[in-house]
Amino acid sequence: MFGYVTPDLPELKLKEYQRFRALYCGLCHELGLRYGLPGRMILNYDFVFLAALLWDGDVPCGYRMRRCAVHPVCRRCVCESSPALTTAAGYSLILAYRKAEDGVEDSRGARRLGARAARVALGRPYRRAAAAYPDFDRQVSDRLRLLKDLENGGCESIDETADQFARLLASASGGVTGNAQRPLSELLYHVGRIVYIADAYADLAEDRKKGEYNPVAARFGVADGKPDEETRQAVLATLMSSSRLAAAAFELMPESRWTPICENIVYLGIPKMIREVTDGTYRAKNRGLPKEPEKNIRRNGE
């Protein structure tokens, strides 16, 4: 995915922030352990959130201090491997590979070269992940194919296109059994819907320049790559409605050790991202590593 789903860091308690970072590092180590260096390169925040959601309340969480290539001197606190991390790592690999595959077919120039390189590098790890999670792999490839058909057909409904991506993400709840499955599926559906539409909105100008299909432009008739106020309000309303439904679903999930962090993401992080995207203040570089709290304070000028 795209790294849109992050906590609102200044609102996170320090202890939760540290645990979130340990989970982030844990996912990175898990990707490295199972899929090697190429696996580590695809690490992103959306799947840290997924790992937190998939974490069964009863499964304990061990922490260890570990070094890695990015932090060679100072050891970092890292979550030890767990079923949730393993699943999240496998899913993120499958999605990254399938997206690279799409990129090879769709894009041109340097991007295509990049996608091709990613496809080669992720080929072997992907086969391993697909063998472990064949259902998810099938869902991803089916949904992305249907999505591409809709996009190539110039679909004018953002709901119809977003639905494919949302269902793709919702299928990540497939391995969960019991009471948690339905709320999780609904929550992931709306997170996927938000990510798809927010990404389309953020890419309006770029897609316009390249002459590529953009679902928001197709739905609201944005001609010059700059949405008018009416479009902005409509997108904001539909995304916020989704985030409220995501929150309603989240409340029906069983408690786990990651509940406070997920609560922050659902109630604060996602709405904040939606506001920033629709304001045009969301910057691509925000998608990188999380700023430490004190840096955030400085940047906000507080």
111, amino acid identity: R
Distance CA 9, CA 50 (A): 18
Q: Which CB, 118 or 246, lies closer to another protein? A: 246
Q: Which CB, 152 or 179, lies closer to another protein? A: 179
Q: Evaluate whether 24 touches 48 at the Cβ level (below 8 Å).
A: yes
Q: Which CB, 42 or 222, lies closer to another protein? A: 222
Which distant-in-sequence residues (6+ apart) come within 8 Å of 257 by Cβ?
A: 55, 57, 61
**Which region, judged by CB under 8 A, interacts with another protein, from 50-58, 77-85, 88-96, 286-294?**
286-294
Is residue 186 a contact residue for another protein (CB under 8 A)?
A: yes
What is the smallest separation between the CB atom of 251 and another protein, expressed in angstroms? 6
Q: Which CB, 75 or 138, lies closer to another protein? A: 75
Hunting for tokens 């999240």 — which residue is that?
Answer: 88
Is residue 69 a contact residue for another protein (CB under 8 A)?
A: no
- Six-digit token string for 180: 């948690």
Secondary structure of the chain: what % helix, strand, coil (to 5)?
A: 70, 5, 25
Helical (H) or strand (E) element with 77: strand 76-79
Q: Which CB, 84 or 180, lies closer to another protein? A: 180
CA distance readout (Å), 234 to 79, 197, 220, 270, 299: 41, 12, 9, 17, 30
The SS3 call for residue 28 is helix
**Of 76, 75, 31, the residue nearest 50 (C-alpha):** 31
Q: Which of residues 217-246 bind another protein (CB under 8 A)?
A: 219, 233-234, 236-238, 240-246
Q: Which of residues 1-20 bind another protein (CB under 8 A)?
A: 13-14
Is residue 157 a contact residue for another protein (CB under 8 A)?
A: yes
C-beta neighbour count of 80 within 10 angstroms: 15
Is residue 207 a contact residue for another protein (CB under 8 A)?
A: no
**Which region, judged by CB under 8 A, interacts with another protein, from 48-56, 60-68, 137-145, 185-193?**
185-193
Is residue 74 a contact residue for another protein (CB under 8 A)?
A: yes
Is residue 101 a contact residue for another protein (CB under 8 A)?
A: no
Residues lying near another protein in the complex (CB under 8 A): 13-14, 71, 74, 157-160, 163, 166, 179, 182-183, 186, 189-190, 193, 219, 233-234, 236-238, 240-249, 251-252, 260, 263, 266-268, 271, 274-275, 292-294
